[in-house]
Amino acid sequence: MKIATPQEINNFLHVFKFYADCPGCFHLVDRKDLKNIATTGLTFAQAREVILQLTYIDYIKGPVVDMFYKDYNVWEFGQELEDIGIYIKLSDNFDHKMAKCISFHIAKHSMTYPYNKKRGK
């Protein structure tokens, strides 16, 4: 699988954050993620802030064709919060001028960060 370049990742994040930073334009696609966010100890607003702070260093994988919406892709990121790995999946479907987070939960597996040598695998 091809790894996106830092520029490609930053381009995606720039557009995603543009929409996510607009009031009412950030959406969690799967309602179970509200419960999952609660298990991390974060509020919805704090989870959104974590996403707004993502950089190419936090990149795991993508773009990968979305299995439900074949015209769009998903991008996977990870974040370490107080030694807990958080898995984040974002969509490049900006229909309706919305930034869509598909997953935000405690990681079930180790995560590999191609551009972060400190985290590694």
The domains of the chain, with CATH numbers, are: 6-106 (3.30.2310.40)
Dihedral angle, C-alpha 9, 11, 16, 22, nearest 10 °: 140
pLDDT tens digits for the chain (121 residues)? 689 999 999 999 999 999 999 888 998 876 555 567 767 778 888 889 999 999 999 999 999 999 988 999 999 999 988 888 999 999 999 988 999 999 888 898 999 999 987 765 4
DSSP H stretches of helix in the chain:
6-20, 32-40, 44-52
* Structure confidence at residue 33 (pLDDT): 56
pTM, entire model: 0.89
